Structures are given as C-alpha cells and as structure tokens.
C-alpha cells in the first residue's frame, strides 16, 4: 500500500488549482527549479491555471527549466500532434519561460542512443528534476513506459501498446496516423525526481489508480513503482478516486 498523499478534488478545475499551488510554492522557493512535464488531457486544467497565475504576476517562469516526459517517434516539433507542439500551445507560448530552458525528446532524431543520453545529461546538468508531473495511462503507463517485464532506467525508445494508440487516436484523423513508437524518460528518470505529482480525472482511471496504489509493485503496472517513491502526491477527482 502506497504512502502517497491522495487528494480528492471535486472536478478537473479544482485539480488544476490544487496542482498549481504545488508548482507555485516550488517556483517561489526555488525560482530556477527543474520541472518534469507531461502532455495529454489530464494536465490541461493545471496548465490553464499556471498561465493565468503567470499573467497575474504570481508565478515567474523566467528561471524555470523544464524537461518533458516523452515525444512520438517521427513527429517534428511543429506537427500539431507532437508533444513539443502541445507544450508550446498549452503552456510555453503563454508564460515567460525561456525557449532554451525547455526540452522535449527529439522525435526526429537520427541517433536514438545519443539523443536519449544527451537528454539524461541535460537533466543531470540542471541538477535533476524537482517536481515531476505525471498522468497515468489505462494500462498503468507513466510517460510512455508501457507494461513490460522490467522497469526501464533511462530515456529510451518504446513501442506503443494498442490500448495506448487507441486512447490517443482521438487527437489524430485515424488510428493509422497514430505513431507506433515514442521516446520516453525511463522509470528510473521519473523515480529520480525529488517530488512526483500525478493527476488523474474520470471514472476510467479509477481501476488503474487502485492497482497503482494498492496492487503489487510490478512492471506490468509501471505506475506501481511509485509505491517506492518517498514523495508522491496524487490529485484525482471524485470519479477517479480509488480508495
Ligand atoms: C503524456 C504521458 C502519458 C499520459 C497518459 C494519460 O506525456 O506521458 O503517460 O500522461 O497517457 O493521458 P491522458 O491525461 O490524456 O489521459
């Protein structure tokens, strides 16, 4: 059983506010902090809140550095479904973060091993991730670490599960356009973060949250490794609340 803090909120908007409070507190105490960021639907209310607070002068991103969890293999940063594009549209273009202080794995790299190593090195040179934001997939993936027989340590290439491609096809014209592979931080990269905040909303996340919190720690449910992380906060709405 996990020793994480589990915060139940009424709806996604409240989740965004509660998560934004954690970001705001960190950025105030450590203006040059390193954020690990996620894409997908779950973080959107949080990003809206961060944009508002930045515009209101409450949060200053001028010294913040950020490293995203993952990127689709093959997509360029200006492809509307790439995660770089998502971050620009939903956060970076609307806050005063410096472009050179934001990194997302390069989906079009020609040298996968070198790109993955450089990604880890950059995070290390920045001093490691202070706060890692996570969503959770229906199969328990975090980042794009899909269920498998081990916990991958570092940033690496992964084949996407059919369930994940199906879940993400809502953003593409058809399933055929959804990439079959991606680059993702490893479970080791995620576990090295000083603090982890996982956001989840909707009844469809309830069962996997239960397995994450209360099930055995197994690479078949990658998020279950969070039971071994010393500082995890899970923020979920009533529909997703598993306990
Ligand atoms: C996205 C990511 C994924 C998502 C997960 C949940 O960067 O790493 O693990 O967090 O697929 O996605 P949503 O929030 O769209 O349900």
The two three-digit tokens of residue 15, written as one number: 């989740």
pLDDT band at residue 40 using 50, 70 and 90 as cut-offs = very high
| Percentage of the residues of the chain whose pLDDT score is greater than 90 | 95
Mean pLDDT lowest among 61-65, 163-167, 224-228, 233-237: 163-167
Give the per-residue pLDDT at 53.
98
Burial call 220-229: b when 16+ CB within 10 Å, e when fewer = ebbbbbbbeb
pLDDT digit string, tens, across residues 164-201: 899 889 889 999 999 999 999 999 999 999 999 999 99
Q: Which atom of ligand 1 is nearest to the CA of 68?
A: 7
Residue 1 in this model has a pLDDT that exceeds 60: no
Which listed residue (70, 120, 161, 237) is catalytic? 70
Mean pLDDT lowest among 58-67, 93-102, 167-176: 167-176
CA of 143 to the centre of ligand 1 (A): 7
Is-contact 231 192, C-beta < 8 A?
no
| Residue 76: C-alpha distances to residues 34, 82, 109, 209 (Å) | 24, 7, 9, 32
Judge whether 141 counts as a catalytic residue: yes
H-helix segments, 126-197:
162-168, 187-191
Side by side, the strands of the sheet bearing 181-184 are 70-72, 181-184, 156-159
Residues with CB under 6 A from ligand 1: 38-42, 69-70, 135-137, 141-144
pLDDT digit string, tens, across residues 110-122: 999 999 999 999 9
Atom 12 of ligand 1 has which residue's CA nearest to it? Answer: 40
Strands 195-200 and 232-237: parallel
pTM beyond 0.95: the answer is yes
The contacts of residue 160 (CB under 8 Å, 6+ apart) are 144, 146, 178, 179, 180, 181, 182
Name the residue of 91, 107, 135 whose CB sits within 8 Å of the most ligand 1 atoms, as the mutation to test its pocket: 135
């Amino acid at each position: 059983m996990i020793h994480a803090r589990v915060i139940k909120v009424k709806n996604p908007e409240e989740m965004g506010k509660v998560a934004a409070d954690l970001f705001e507190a960190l950025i105030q105490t450590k203006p040059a902090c390193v954020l690990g960021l996620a894409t997908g639907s779950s973080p959107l209310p949080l990003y809206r809140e961060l944009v508002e607070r930045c515009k209101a002068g409450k949060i200053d991103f001028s010294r913040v550095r950020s490293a995203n969890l993952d990127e689709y293999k093959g997509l360029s940063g200006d492809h509307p479904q790439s995660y770089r594009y998502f971050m620009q549209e939903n956060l970076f273009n609307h806050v005063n973060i410096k472009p050179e202080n934001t990194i997302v794995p390069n989906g079009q790299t020609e040298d996968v091993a070198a790109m993955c190593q450089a990604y880890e090195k950059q995070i290390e040179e920045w001093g490691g991730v202070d706060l890692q934001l996570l969503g959770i997939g229906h199969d328990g993936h975090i980042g794009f670490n899909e269920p498998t027989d081990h916990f991958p340590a570092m940033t690496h290439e992964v084949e996407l599960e059919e369930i994940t491609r199906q879940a993400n096809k809502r953003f593409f014209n058809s399933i055929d356009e959804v990439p079959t592979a991606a680059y993702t931080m490893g479970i080791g990269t995620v576990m090295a973060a000083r603090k982890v905040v996982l956001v989840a909303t909707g009844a469809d996340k309830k069962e996997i949250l239960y397995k994450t919190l209360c099930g055995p720690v197994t690479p078949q449910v990658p998020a279950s490794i969070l039971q071994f992380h010393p500082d995890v906060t899970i923020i979920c709405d009533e529909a997703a609340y598993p306990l």
